[in-house]
Amino acid sequence: MIKLAVVGTGDIAQTHARAIQQLGTCELVALVNHRTESMQAFGEVFSVPVSRHYVTIEALINAGDVDAIIICTPNFLHASQSIMALTTGIHVLVEKPMAMTANEAQMILDAHTKSDAVLQVAHCWRFDEEVQFMRDQIASGIIGNVIRTKGYSAHVNWGPSGWFTQKALAGGGALADMGIHAIDTVRFLLGDPKPISVYATIGTYYGDYDVDDTGIITVTWDNDITSTIEFGWWQPHSDGIGASTQFYSTGGFAQLFPTTIQITDSTTRQLTTIETDYPAKRDPHVPLSIYINQIDHFVNCIQSRQTPIADGHVGFVNMQIVSAAYQSSKLNQVINI
């Protein structure tokens, strides 16, 4: 059985620990957190003995007897912790965003090329059943050729605090936190095209912090599709639940959340709706199943030496888009990637 440790024992680490418990094909054997009290509380809930609690990732690595780690720390630690683990042959599932900048993400990729270990980035929406269904539908051509997409990922009347709102610790604000989910989801749904250019307007309107809480990005892809992506914290409104992506195509329309497919009749131009069985998601709209599927995939990739569907390069391309968007907004110009 694959032996896992979580690094950071905050919110998302709890979700991963619950997913590991449900999965049953791997076990949570160790914890890392510089705050021992919170680590102890976490250890009690998830039955990880104090003898396997470590205050640094170095101490975990020196103790040995762990196959893989899930990095659930603030973003500024993702690159150094990933590189340290990969260098010693420990498999890494690192939370999104994989790093603070594209340059940092590149450093992780460099460490990965010299390592035999598996590197997966926790772009969790790739493991959602509806997202996978929609990807297959779009790839089948059921709505013709996609021309443009429109999506968002936003918190309505809510936003995080603490390290999430400090640039030095998070790298960015709502774009790095929320926008990256919408970027990765649309890219996955379109079959992972390469971004060609990025234009963005990003700002801070709702809080007293040095990161962004509102923005719009336009990405052009190498398959001639254009995507607009909106993101934010503390937004006064969203068009539905916290995230959605729409596809405008030559032969119809599709939408993720609520999942809808409409085919255009080529003669009458009337739209026919294809019924799907997915019940409408409600906020908070993230089911535990996607985290279970995500860790299941990670464990399978370790055991069969496959490349994950959210590998380091996927995370890197997302970071290229994020970094280009911040640069575009600052310079008020299109950034070619």
Q: Which residues bind ligand NAD (CB under 6 A)?
A: 7-13, 32-35, 38, 72-75, 77, 95-96, 122, 124, 177, 286
Rounded Cα gap, residues 221 and 46, in angstroms: 43
Smallest gap, in angstroms, from Cβ of residue 129 to ligand NAD? 16
Closest CB to ligand NAD: residue number: 10
Token pair of 8 as six digits: 């950071």
**Residue 124 CB, nearest distance to ligand NAD (Å)?**
4
Q: Which is nearer to ligand NAD, 7 or 299 (CB)?
A: 7
Q: Compute the least distance from the CB of residue 36 to ligand NAD, in Å.
A: 10
Nearer to ligand NAD, 143 or 229 (CB): 229
Helical ranges in the chain per DSSP H: 11-23, 36-46, 57-63, 78-87, 102-113, 129-140, 167-170, 174, 180-189, 288-304, 312-331
- Cα dihedral sign for 70, 301, 100, 64? positive
Q: Residue 146 or residue 187: which is nearer to ligand NAD going by CB?
A: 187
What is the nearest approach in angstroms of ligand NAD to the Cβ of residue 233?
Answer: 13
What 3-state class would DSSP assign to 29?
Answer: strand
- Is residue 266 classed exposed, middle or buried when 0-12, 13-18 and 19+ CB atoms within 10 A define those classes? exposed
Nearer to ligand NAD, 10 or 144 (CB): 10
Helix pair angle (312-331, 102-113), 10° resolution: 160
With respect to ligand NAD, which residue has the nearer C-beta, 137 or 323? Answer: 323
Quote the Cα angle for 168-169-173, to 5°.
85
**Distance in Å, CB of 17 to ligand NAD, minimum:** 11
Q: What are phi and psi of 11, to 5 degrees?
A: -55, -60
Report the residue number, 74 or 179, with the smaller CB distance to ligand NAD: 74
Q: Which of 235, 240, 180, 164 is nearest to 203 (CA)?
A: 235
Q: For residues 29 and 334, which CB has a smaller minimum distance to ligand NAD in the complex? A: 29
Cα–Cα distance for residue pair 321/325, rounded to 1 Å: 6
Distances (CA, A) of 179 to 13, 44, 113, 155: 21, 34, 28, 11
Residues 200-226 as b or e (16 or more Cβ within 10 Å = b): bebebebbebebbbbbbbbbbbeeebb
**Least separation, in Å, of the C-beta of 164 and ligand NAD?**
7
Q: Least separation, in Å, of the C-beta of 82 and ligand NAD? A: 12
Nearer Cβ to ligand NAD (43/74) = 74
Q: Which is nearer to ligand NAD, 55 or 334 (CB)?
A: 55
52 close to 33: Cβ distance less than 8 angstroms: no
Nearest approach in angstroms of CB 45 to ligand NAD is 13
Distance, CA of 24 to CA of 150 (rounded, Å): 38
Min dist CB 193 to ligand NAD, Å, is: 22
CA 94 from chain centre, in angstroms, equals: 10
